[in-house]
Amino acid sequence: MSVQERKERERAERERLIVATARELAEQQGWDAVTTRRLAERIEYSQPVLYSHFRGKREIIGAVALQGAAELAVAVRAATSAADGPRARVAALARAYLDFAEHNPAVYDAIFQLDGGLAYAQEDTPAPLKDAFAALMESLAEVAGNGIDPGLFTELFWASLHGLATLTRTGRLLPEYAEPRVELLVDRLCMV
Amino acid sequence: MSVQERKERERAERERLIVATARELAEQQGWDAVTTRRLAERIEYSQPVLYSHFRGKREIIGAVALQGAAELAVAVRAATSAADGPRARVAALARAYLDFAEHNPAVYDAIFQLDGGLAYAQEDTPAPLKDAFAALMESLAEVAGNGIDPGLFTELFWASLHGLATLTRTGRLLPEYAEPRVELLVDRLCMV
DNA sequence: CTCGATTGTCTAGCAGTGCTAGGATTCGAA
DNA sequence: TTCGAATCCTAGCACTGCTAGACAATCGAG
Single-letter amino acid code for the residue at A45: Y
Average pLDDT over residues A3-14: 83
Question: pLDDT class for B7, splitting at 50, 70, 90?
Answer: confident
Single-letter amino acid code for the residue at B149: D
Residues B67 and B49 in one domain: no
Question: Per-residue pLDDT tens for A70-116?
Answer: 999 999 999 999 999 999 999 999 999 999 999 999 999 999 999 99
Total tally of structural domains belonging to chain A: 2
Determine the residue of chain A that is closest to B109 in CA distance: A113
Better-scored residue on pLDDT, B81 or B7:
B81
Residues A185 and A112 in one domain: yes
Å: B10 CA to C2 C1'? 30
The CA R_g of chain B, rounded to the nearest whole Å, is 19
Residues B168 and B133 in one domain: yes
> What's residue A2's pLDDT?
66
Residues B135 and B106 in one domain: yes
CB contact under 8 A, A173 and B148: no
pLDDT cut 90: percent of chain B above it: 93
Average pLDDT over residues A32-54: 97
**CA count, 13 A, side-chain hemisphere, B69:** 23
Residues B91 and B142 in one domain: yes
The residue from B37, B53, B69 where one domain ends is B53
Q: What rounded mean pLDDT belongs to chain B? A: 96
Q: What torsion, rounded to 10 degrees, do the Cα atoms B65, B66, B72, B73 define? A: 160
Residues A66 and A6 in one domain: no
Residues B24 and B8 in one domain: yes
The domain containing residue B26 runs over which residues? 1-53
Say yes or no: Cβ of B160 under 7 A from any atom of strand D. no
Residues in chain B: 192
φ, ψ dihedrals at B146, nearest 5°: -65, 130
> What's residue B24's pLDDT?
98
Say yes or no: Cβ of B48 under 7 A from any atom of strand D. yes
Q: How far is CA B43 from CA B11, B21, B32, in A?
A: 13, 7, 18
Inform me whether the C-beta atom of residue B167 falls under 8 Å from chain A C-beta atoms. Answer: yes
Smallest CA-to-CA distance from B59 within B1, B2, B144, B116 is with: B116
Residues B164 and B179 in one domain: yes
Spatial distance between the Cα atoms of A88 and A174, rounded to a whole number of angstroms: 24
Question: pLDDT class for B8, splitting at 50, 70, 90?
Answer: confident
Question: Per-residue pLDDT tens for B61-90?
Answer: 999 999 999 999 999 999 999 999 999 999
Residues A77 and A140 in one domain: yes
Spatial distance between the Cα atoms of B172 and A112, rounded to a whole number of angstroms: 9
Whether the Cβ atoms of residue A136 and residue A93 lie closer than 8 Å to each other: yes
Residues A7 and A67 in one domain: no
Smallest CA-to-CA distance from A156 within B66, B101, B185 is with: B185
CB contact under 8 A, B188 and A188: yes
User: For residue B135, how many other CB atoms are within 10 A of its CB?
Assistant: 25
The residue from A53, A81, A96 where one domain ends is A53
CATH number at residue B28: 1.10.10
Q: Give B181's contacts in chain A (Cβ within 8 Å).
A: 152, 155-156, 159
Helix (H) or strand (E) run with residue B44 in it? none
Q: Which of residues 91-110 of B touch A (CB under 8 A)?
A: none
| B159: alpha, beta or left? (left if phi > 0; alpha if psi -120 to 50) | alpha
Residues B155 and B107 in one domain: yes
Spatial distance between the Cα atoms of A140 and A150, rounded to a whole number of angstroms: 7
Q: What torsion, rounded to 10 degrees, do the Cα atoms B109, B112, B115, B116 define? A: 90
> What's residue B2's pLDDT?
61
Question: pLDDT class for B1, splitting at 50, 70, 90?
Answer: very low
Query: ipTM higher than 0.90?
Result: yes
Q: Closest CA to C8 C1' — which residue?
A: B49
3-state secondary structure chain A: CHHHHHHHHHHHHHHHHHHHHHHHHHHHHCHHHCCHHHHHHHCCCCHHHHHHHCCCHHHHHHHHHHHHHHHHHHHHHHHHHCCCCHHHHHHHHHHHHHHHHHHCHHHHHHHHCCCCCCCCCCCCCCHHHHHHHHHHHHHHHHHCCCCCCHHHHHHHHHHHHHHHHHHHHCCCCCHHHHHHHHHHHHHHHCCC
How far B187 CA lies from chain A's nearest CA (Å)?
Answer: 9
Whether the Cβ atoms of residue B158 and residue B112 lie closer than 8 Å to each other: no
> What's residue A190's pLDDT?
98
Spatial distance between the Cα atoms of B108 and B100, rounded to a whole number of angstroms: 8
Average pLDDT over residues B159-171: 97
Question: Per-residue pLDDT tens for A154-189?
Answer: 999 999 999 999 999 999 999 999 999 999 999 999
Residues A1 and A75 in one domain: no
Whether the Cβ atoms of residue A84 and residue A192 lie closer than 8 Å to each other: no
Average pLDDT over residues B119-140: 96
CATH number at residue B141: 1.10.357.10
**CA count, 13 A, side-chain hemisphere, A95:** 15
Shortest CA–C1' contact from B38: which nucleotide?
D16
Spatial distance between the Cα atoms of B76 and B155, rounded to a whole number of angstroms: 16
Shortest CA–C1' contact from B31: which nucleotide?
D16
Q: Give A172's contacts in chain B (Cβ within 8 Å).
A: 112, 120-121
> What's residue A9's pLDDT?
86
> Nearest by CB to A153, which of B162, B167, B184?
B184
